[in-house]
């Protein structure tokens, strides 16, 4: 039978797509990447808002597959800012000569499985259908920006931005009255910098969020040298933690220690900065009473930082800690001490409309020259559902996922042979440090394709029973945590009409990796190979 033009088409040139391409090419596969943007970097290509940086430490938010790469690349800050991460993605693309197999400005609109030929037909906005034996969706978990609709419409005539679609040229807010809608991770990073530049900043907050200080700064060369002296050891330690981050996850329970010990631990973690805070006590994600101790601690910190008690109160979250994603900030709460910043609570009284001159809340107009939507993303399923993906018998993935995503291990789907998702729903993905978990998926998929090739198989497809069992298991594990007790994008509740399903796998990276390895050891257990 004639071979298709490509062995594999990879959709997306972010960190997942770049490594997938490199890996497949090294194995002698003819692979092509289709990328909607004009450059590599994925998330870091699009999210260029002021203050954008990764809140996983740079020494960990980086590839480990190539020892020379991780030795030679020097990070400048404890947490790398977006321009530096984008330079890193560019460097990787150049270093491994990847761009010759990437088509930019090529947004994929459909992927249709041709059963007779056992091939995928992939079409881009440019229209040209391309054929490949396999399709690998490296489309990112948080890549489709969400701009909410407002009950009485949107006629805003000023300049508007979305944090996830920021212009490439410098945006100046000097002398401008700026509004920010949202107080999630993106807003928490952008607000302090916009406040420094704008004439006036008005923040529209629907849900107050927990945020801990980053304590960012230049990366100590000695720390960098020490880590590089035995980089694999750090990576190994990270891989043993649930979030695949080298952090000390406490094994003690918050409710089993004295109030003084708890306070000491929280203070120490607060002083350390960043996600280390989430590892203070083992029962925080599971037990509401334990969780309340950390809630109280952070609310206390907010009261210490914010001078006006009423504003401090408004900024104090009341939901479960860790239910929505924890934010990591630099000067976020202190920004509300500035005279040019106004906090508008839109929880009880939602935004009614965007008028031509600003934002209308509770009958009052807030006049603005520029409006920043920090309103998040249609996460995990949004990007895939916007591509017309059709598997066996022309069945649409969107229909299959009508009541929530269904995958086997977040890697494959019943009814969709030879289609893989990197960090798809049902995998730990967004609950982890994405770089190593991307690598784990890429390597699993690459090994799988090598296995198919060497054993003369043309197709692989998740079995429905295996998929059903995995979906049930994913829901069951999520149900044992407090993560399902609030509204969050993990549950799809930020998007009108989206089914309420906890989408990532919360059972932790080590358990997940073990399951993936067992599946392989048992001859791709739960998949059908033909």
Select from 207, 316, 320, 433 the one that contacts ligand NAP (CB under 6 A). 207
Contact region for ligand NAP (CB under 6 A) — 33-41, 151-159, 201-209, 435-443?
A: 201-209
Both tokens of residue 419?
Answer: 């289609």
Residues 47-66, mask of contacts with ligand NAP (x by CB under 6 A): ------xxx-----------
Positive or negative: CA dihedral 275, 277, 279, 285: negative
Least gap, CB of 346 to ligand NAP (angstroms): 5
Site for ligand NAP in 461-520 (CB under 6 A): 489, 494
Nearest to 88 by CA among 34, 26, 45: 45
Q: Provide the mask over 415-434, with x wherever binding to ligand NAP is found by CB under 6 A and - wherever it is not.
A: ---------------x----
Handedness of CA 40, 44, 46, 50 (dihedral sign): negative
Shortest reach from residue 185's CB to ligand NAP, in Å? 4
Residue (377 or 444) nearer to ligand NAP, CB: 377
Cα distances (angstroms) measured from residue 408 to each of 390, 424, 438, 465, 524: 17, 9, 16, 9, 12
DSSP string of 261-283? HHHHHHHHHHHH-GGGGGGS-TT
User: Which contiguous run of DSSP H or E holds residue 527?
Assistant: strand 527-529
Q: Nearest approach, Cβ of 322 to ligand NAP (angstroms)?
A: 12
**Minimum CB separation from ligand NAP for residue 71, in Å?**
24
Residues 6+ apart with CB under 8 A from 399: none
Which C-beta is closer to ligand NAP: that of 184 or that of 428? 184
Site for ligand NAP in 378-397 (CB under 6 A): none
CA neighbor of 473 nearest in space, from 426, 428, 431: 426
Structure tokens at 476: 């069951």
Q: Which is nearer to ligand NAP, 189 or 202 (CB)?
A: 189
Q: Is 106 or 244 the residue whose CB approaches ligand NAP more closely?
A: 244
Task: Give me the DSSP letters along 455-511.
Answer: TT---EEE-HHHHHHHHHHHHHHHHTSGGGSS--GGGTTTSTT------S--S-HHH
Tell me the helices (H) and strands (E) count for the chain, helix number first.
15, 20
Least gap, CB of 473 to ligand NAP (angstroms): 23
Residue pair 159/21 in contact by the 8 Å Cβ criterion: no
Question: Considering only residues 98-157, where is the footprint of ligand NAP by CB under 6 A?
Answer: 142, 148
Q: Work out whether 281 is an interface residue with ligand NAP (CB under 6 A).
A: no
Among 12, 133, 179, 182, binds ligand NAP (CB under 6 A): 182
Instruction: Candidates 25-33, 106-114, 202-210, 287-295: pick the segment binding ligand NAP (CB under 6 A).
Output: 202-210
Query: Min. distance of Cβ 329 from ligand NAP in angstroms?
Result: 9
The window from 20-28, 183-191, 444-452, 456-464 that contacts ligand NAP (CB under 6 A) reads 183-191
Question: d(Cα 390, Cα 407) in Å, to the nearest integer?
Answer: 15
- From 58, 70, 143, 163, residue interacting with ligand NAP (rule: CB under 6 A): 163
Q: Is 187 in the site for ligand NAP (CB under 6 A)?
A: yes
Q: Are 44 and 89 a contacting pair, CB within 8 Å?
A: yes
Q: Which is nearer to ligand NAP, 213 or 417 (CB)?
A: 213
CA distances from 373 to 163, 164, 203, 263 (A): 6, 9, 10, 36
Angstrom distance (rounded) from CA 264 to CA 252:
13
Task: Please state the closest distance from residue 115 (CB atom) to ligand NAP, in A.
Answer: 37
Q: Six-digit token pair at 321?
A: 């800690």
Nearer to ligand NAP, 106 or 201 (CB): 201
Residue 354, both tokens = 């965007």
| 181 belongs to the binding site for ligand NAP (CB under 6 A) | yes
Site string for ligand NAP, 330-369 (x = CB under 6 A): ----------------x----x------------------
DSSP string, 212-269: EE----BPPHHHHHHHHHTHHHHHHHHHTSTTSS------S-GGGS-HHHHHHHHHHH
Stretch that binds ligand NAP, among 123-131, 261-269, 370-378, 516-524 (CB under 6 A): 370-378
Dihedral of alpha carbons 284, 287, 290, 294, sign: positive
| R_g of the chain computed on alpha carbons | 23
Q: Do residues 306 and 333 make contact, with C-beta atoms less than 8 angstroms apart?
A: yes
Q: How far is the CB of 368 from ligand NAP (least distance, A)?
A: 15
In whole angstroms, what is the distance from residue 406 CA to residue 437 CA?
20
Stretch that binds ligand NAP, among 182-190, 233-241, 362-370, 403-411 (CB under 6 A): 182-190
Our CB check for ligand NAP shows the closer of 130 and 435 to be 435
Task: Select from 185-193, 294-302, 401-409, 513-521 the region that touches ligand NAP (CB under 6 A).
Answer: 185-193
Q: Which of 75, 156, 204, 408 touches ligand NAP (CB under 6 A)?
A: 204
| Site residues, ligand NAP (CB under 6 A) | 53-55, 142, 148, 163, 181-187, 189, 204, 206-207, 325, 346, 351, 374-377, 430, 489, 494
């Amino acid at each position: 039978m004639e071979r298709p033009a490509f062995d594999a088409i990879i959709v997306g040139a972010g960190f997942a797509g770049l490594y997938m391409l490199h890996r497949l090419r090294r194995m002698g596969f003819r692979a092509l990447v289709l990328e909607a943007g004009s450059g590599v970097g994925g998330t870091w290509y699009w999210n260029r808002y002021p203050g954008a940086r990764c809140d996983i430490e740079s020494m960990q938010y980086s590839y480990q597959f190539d020892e020379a790469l991780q030795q030679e690349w020097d990070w400048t800050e404890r947490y790398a800012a977006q321009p530096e991460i984008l330079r890193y993605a560019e460097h990787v693309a150049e270093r491994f000569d990847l761009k010759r197999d990437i088509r930019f400005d090529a947004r994929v609109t459909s992927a249709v499985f041709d059963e007779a030929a056992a091939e995928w037909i992939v079409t881009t906005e440019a229209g040209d259908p391309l054929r490949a034996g396999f399709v690998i969706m490296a489309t990112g978990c948080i890549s489709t920006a969400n701009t909410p609709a407002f009950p009485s419409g949107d006629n805003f005539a000023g300049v508007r931005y979305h944090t996830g679609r920021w212009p490439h040229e410098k945006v100046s807010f000097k002398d401008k009255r700026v509004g920010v809608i949202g107080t999630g991770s993106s807003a928490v990073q952008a607000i302090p910098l916009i406040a420094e530049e704008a004439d006036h900043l008005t923040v529209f907050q629907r849900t107050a969020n927990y945020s801990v200080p980053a304590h960012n700064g230049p990366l100590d060369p000695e720390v960098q040298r020490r880590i590089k002296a035995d980089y694999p050891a750090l990576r190994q330690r990270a891989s043993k933690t649930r979030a695949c981050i080298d952090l000390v996850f406490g094994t003690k329970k918050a409710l089993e220690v004295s109030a003084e010990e708890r306070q000491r631990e929280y203070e120490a973690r607060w002083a350390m900065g960043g996600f280390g805070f989430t590892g203070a006590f083992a029962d925080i994600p599971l037990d509401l009473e334990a969780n309340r101790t950390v809630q109280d601690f952070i609310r206390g910190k907010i009261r210490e930082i914010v001078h006006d008690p009423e504003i401090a109160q408004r900024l104090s979250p009341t939901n479960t800690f860790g239910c929505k994603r924890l934010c990591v900030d630099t000067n976020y709460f202190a920004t509300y001490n500035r005279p040019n910043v106004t906090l508008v609570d839109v929880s009880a009284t939602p935004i009614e409309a965007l008028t031509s001159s600003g934002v209308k809340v509770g009958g009052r107009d807030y006049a603005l020259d520029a409006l920043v939507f920090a309103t998040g993303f249609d996460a995990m399923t949004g990007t895939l559902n916007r591509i017309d993906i059709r598997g066996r018998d022309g069945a649409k993935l969107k229909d299959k996922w009508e009541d929530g995503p269904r995958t086997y291990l977040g890697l494959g789907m019943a009814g969709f042979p030879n289609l893989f998702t990197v960090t798809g729903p049902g995998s730990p993905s967004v609950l982890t440090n994405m770089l190593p978990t991307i690598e784990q998926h890429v390597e699993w998929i690459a090994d799988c394709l090598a296995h198919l090739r060497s054993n003369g198989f043309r197709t692989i497809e998740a079995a429905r029973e295996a998929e059903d069992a995995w979906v049930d298991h994913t829901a069951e594990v999520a149900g044992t945590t407090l993560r399902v007790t609030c509204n969050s994008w993990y549950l799809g509740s930020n998007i009108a009409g989206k089914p309420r399903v906890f989408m990532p796998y919360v059972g932790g990276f080590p358990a997940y990796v073990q399951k993936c390895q067992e599946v392989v050891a048992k001859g791709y257990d739960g998949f059908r190979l033909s």
